[in-house]
Amino acid sequence: MSINSIQNNENILYCLYARKSTEDDERQAMSIDSQIKEMTEMALKEGIIIKEIRQEKHSAKLSGQRPIFNSLLQDIRNGVFTGILTWAPDRLSRNAGDLGMLVDLMDQEKLQKIKTYSQTFSNNPNEKFLLMILCSQAKLENDQKGINVKRGIRAKCSMGWRPGIAPLGYMNRAFGGVKDIIVDPKRGPVVKEMFERVAYRQQSGRRIKEWMDKIGFTTRNEKKIQISLIYLMLRNPFYYGYFEYSGDWHKGAHEPLITKEVFDEAQKELDERCIPKVRGKTEFPYKGLFNCYTCGTSVCGEEKYRKKKNGSTNYHVYYHCTRSRNPNCKEPYVTEIDLIKLIKQNILNLSEETLKENLTSNIIDELYKYQPIVEEIEFYKRDDIEYDGKVDLKDIIVYACSKSPIKFRRELIQSLPIPKNLHNLLLI
C-alpha cells in the first residue's frame, strides 16, 4: 500500500457500521460479528483507522426507521465522522430515502468516502452513480420479493389453503414440500362439541370455558383457554369450511369440523346474547375503580341487551367481578344505575370537611364549574319555599359522579374516601 493512500485514510474519520436483519430476505447475510471481523482485518491491512464501531439488528426496507443508522447520519452532519466502513452497500440502505441522505451528505462534502469489502465510493459522479445502482438493486430485490410473496399467498388462497397459523382445533402440516391444514386429533373434537353446546344447548361462553377447563382443554401453549378466544372461535367461519383473506372469501380445502347449519345456529344464540364482535368500543366510566370483595379482582363493565316479546330491546350496563382469579366467584352483578346510587349514598354519609380534605384544589375548582347547573336542578326538585337556590360542595360532587366527563369523573371517585369493595350489591 502506498504512503499517500495511508495518509489519505488517516485524514478520514471512519465509523464501522454492521447490520443484520432478522427478516427472511436477509437471513443469508453475513452475521454482525463476521462483518466486524472481516472489516477490521481489512482496515488493519490498508491502514484505515476505525474511530468507532456501531452495529444494529434492524431491517433497512423503510427509510428513517433505524435508530443507530440515524444517529450515524447525524454524527456525520456534525463532523464526528467523515467516512463509513461497511461490508456491502446493502448494509447501509435498501430504500430510496436512506440512500438519498447518504448521497446528499456526499454532495455536501461531509461524507468523504464509503468503503466496503470490495469497493470504494467517494464524492465523484461515477462512484456515486454506482453506489445508487447497487443500493437500488437491493431495493428492487425487496420489492420483487414482496410481489412474489403476495402472489404466492393469493395462489394459496385460490387453492383453498388459509395462510398463517391454523385456528385452534386444526394444525399446520408440511410433508414433501407441500403444506396443508388438518384437524387436530386432540383439540378438534372438543371444538366441534363447543359449537354444538352453544347451538343446541344455548350455553354461554362462560359455561363453555368452565367445561373446557374441567376436561383439561389447553391452547397450543398448554395454557387454559381465555373466554375472549372462545368468542373469536365461535365467530370464525373457518370451522365450517370458509375463510376470508384480504377482503376476499375462499372455500377452504381443509376438512370442516362443523356444518354451516350448526355455525348459523351458534351465531343466532350469540346474537341473542349480544356478545360484542368488536371489543373496546364502549367506555365504562366505573371500570377498575372498585374491587370484588370476595376474590379481590377489579370490577369490569359489560353491556347487556335483552329482547322483549313485543320486539323491542332493553339495554343495561352491568358491573361485575372479572373472575380472573376465581371463575366461580358468586358476587352478583350490579347495574350501572344501582352502582351510581351506592356511590351517591356513600358521599352523602361524609361531611363536607372530610370531602375537602381528600380532594385536590384542582378537582375542587373543576367541581365548582358545575355549581350553576346543580343549583338550577335543585331549584326545580325542591318544593321548600324557603329554599334559597344555593347548593353545597356535597351536592355538586353527587352530580359530578354521574354527569361529568368520564376522565374527570374517574379522577374524582378515585380521590373520594368511600368504600371501594363491591359485595352483595353494597359498597363496603
Who's near 226: CB < 8 A, 6+ residues apart?
Answer: 209
Question: By three-state DSSP, how is residue 66 classified?
Answer: coil
DSSP string, 266-287: HHHHHHHHT--SSTT-S--TTT
The mean per-residue pLDDT over the stretch 85-94 comes to: 88
What's the confidence (pLDDT) of residue 2? Answer: 47
Using CA atoms, how far apart are residues 314 and 41, in angstroms rounded to an integer? 77
**Is pLDDT above 90 for 189?**
yes
Q: What is the C-alpha separation between 109 and 91, in angstroms, rounded?
A: 21
Domains and CATH numbers, the chain: 3-145 (3.40.50.1390), 170-273 (3.90.1750.20), 282-428 (no CATH)
What is the residue whose three cell numbers read 347449519?
261
The DSSP secondary-structure symbol of 224 reads B
pLDDT digits (tens, 9 = 90+) for 247-268: 889 999 999 999 999 999 999 8
Altogether, the residues listed in the chain come to a count of 428
Give mean pLDDT, residues 345-359.
92
Residues 288, 411: Cα–Cα separation, whole Å: 12
Q: What is the mean pLDDT of residues 17-33?
A: 71
Instruction: Report the candidate in 275, 306, 292 with the shortest Cα–Cα distance to residue 334.
Output: 292
- Mean pLDDT score, 115-125: 90
pLDDT interval class at 382 (50, 70, 90) = low
